[in-house]
Amino acid sequence: MTKYPSETQIRSAYRVAKERYALLGVDTDKVLKTLNTVSLSLHCWQGDDVGGFEKTDSGLSGGIAATGNYPGKARTPDELRRDLDKVYSLIPGIHRLALHAMYAETNGHKVDRHELRPEHFANWVSWAATNKHGLDFNPTLFSHPKADSGFTLAHSDRAIRDFWIEHCLAARQIGEFFGRELGTPCVTNLWIPDGYKDTPVDRFTPRALLKDALDRILANPIEPRYNRDSLEGKLFGLGAESYTVGSHEFYLGYAVAKQTLLTLDAGHFHPTETIADKISAVLLYVPEILLHVSRGVRWDSDHVVIYNDDLLAIAQEIVRGGFLDRVHIGLDYFDASINRVAAYAIGARNTLRAMLTALLEPIDLMKKVELSGDYAQRLALLEEIKGLPFGVIWDYHCLRQGVPVGLRFMDEVRIYEKRVLAKRV
Ligand code: RNT
Ligand code: ZN
């Protein structure tokens, strides 16, 4: 049996830790206030293995894959919302949800992607409004017969391109609807799978087609108060190993030229490249960015986010750079081999723990040491702060926010599994 700290223990440990941080000039109460303003955008697709609720048997395509068959995945929007309610109850703070177009509710009617309208997301919006979640959006350009060739917006066939352009135009209207209804701007993120398995002859034409398609999609102006467009590139996909039309350079150039947002997914670069280092570079040229916090294991595998150096570096860059209001923090992973509610809670809690760790840094002191040129002192300081009692602050924060402290959240997951998930057969 796991034993947990009592409330008194948590509070008295906090008092001691608070003093320890104060010695470095860090005000932990203030830090926790700031942490509460961090709103993660949880990805709806961890809840059902990137399935969606369309009445088709397309299966997941686009060069991404969820592996595993752990029982209990959400089969309906209501089940997914119920699971998400559980997830949010395990995470301190108020957080957002990122929807994908294929999670529309069309009342049993077949509504193709280019015909999707705000009304098909009315249930999601009223749920979000009730629970104070902001909503973000993603057009879905995979898992569809018109994406089977591996090409969508960059397809050589004009009719197919037009279909997907219409879908993206519809998606932006849906994003605008979210923003208007919920009073917080929707980030509409575009990712397309287009690419070739084997070495192409012509790398240029598909990119020119994609650029033209984006121009047409973005030609329709939408109030940034309601909707903001973000573009997500990547290195390769399964079955598209040799060439990806929407590469990082492609979208970086496009986003800078058009001043859209740029999405950086932690799994979309060469394995030794990290998105942490890109944040301060791209924010000089684009107004805001969206992160897809993920964890690649050997490849873009989208494992559950853990509290590792990569995650910490991302959080540190956001905080040290003073970018909290210019970085939208979204999660993007899908593990079908473990309890999906736990997968959400573990990844989201870790992301917040990393943000807390970064917020607890004595940044002024660190910058001063760096500027003094004493790099041995800088190294020593950076190593020393790794041992400060951030976990005590995290426990106290969870306690204060009324969410489970420590591993207790897994008890809640187990109860939910027994009462709800196990009955889904
Ligand atoms: C794929 C991208 C993209 C997807 C979601 C489902 O490699 O990361 O963000 O994971 O759209
Ligand atoms: Zn992504």
Q: Give per-residue pLDDT as tens, 309-333.
A: 999 999 999 999 999 999 999 999 9
Q: What is the pLDDT of residue 167?
A: 98
Whether 234 sits among the annotated catalytic residues: the reply is yes
Any idea of the CA torsion for 19, 20, 22, 27, to the nearest 10 degrees? -80
What six digits make up the tokens of 320? 């040290």
CA distance 150 to 61: 9
332 classed as catalytic? yes
88 domain residue, yes or no: yes
Catalytic residue among 176, 229, 232, 417: 232
Candidate of 99, 251, 331, 332 to mutate for ligand 1, largest count of ligand atoms within 8 Å of Cβ: 332
**3 state SS of 262:** strand
Residue 211 near residue 154 (C-beta atoms within 8 A): no
Tokens of 263: 């999405």
User: Domain for residue 107, yes or no?
Assistant: yes
Question: Using a 6 Å cutoff on CB, does residue 265 contact ligand 1?
Answer: yes
Residue 408 lies in a domain: no
Quote the pLDDT of residue 99.
Answer: 99
Is 193 within the bounds of a domain?
A: yes
Q: Confirm whether 92 is domain-assigned.
A: yes
If one counts the domains in the chain, the total is: 1
**Which ranges in 183-228 belong to alpha helices (H)?**
204-218
Q: Is the residue at 209 inside a domain? A: yes
The single residue of 54, 191, 194, 248 carrying the catalytic annotation is 191
Candidate list 268, 278, 303, 397, residue with the active-site label: 268
* List of the chain residues with pLDDT < 70: 1
pLDDT, residue 2, reads 74
**The pTM is what?**
0.98
Closest to 294 (Cα-Cα) out of 241, 333, 342, 323 = 333
What's the CA-to-centroid distance between 229 and ligand 1, angstroms? 15
415: in domain: no
Contact (Cβ atoms closer than 8 angstroms) between residue 254 and residue 284: no
Ligand 1: which of 141, 289, 292 to mutate, most ligand atoms within 8 Å of CB? 292
Q: Would residue 7 show up in a list of annotated catalytic residues for this protein?
A: no
Known catalytic residue at 164: no
What does DSSP say about strands 327-331 and 289-293: parallel, antiparallel, or unpaired? parallel
Q: How many angstroms is it from 57 CA to the middle of ligand 1?
A: 20
Q: What CA–CA distance (Å, rounded) separates 94 from 281?
A: 29
Those residues with Cβ within 8 angstroms of residue 144's Cβ, 6 or more apart along the chain or in another chain:
56, 58, 61, 113
Residue 274, both tokens: 């990290």
Domain that holds residue 107: 39-360
The CATH number of residue 92's host domain is 3.20.20.150
Residue 77 near residue 124, CB atoms below 8 Å: yes
Q: Is the residue at 288 inside a domain?
A: yes
Cα 97 to middle of ligand 1, angstroms: 15
Q: Is the CB of 64 under 6 A from ligand 1?
A: yes
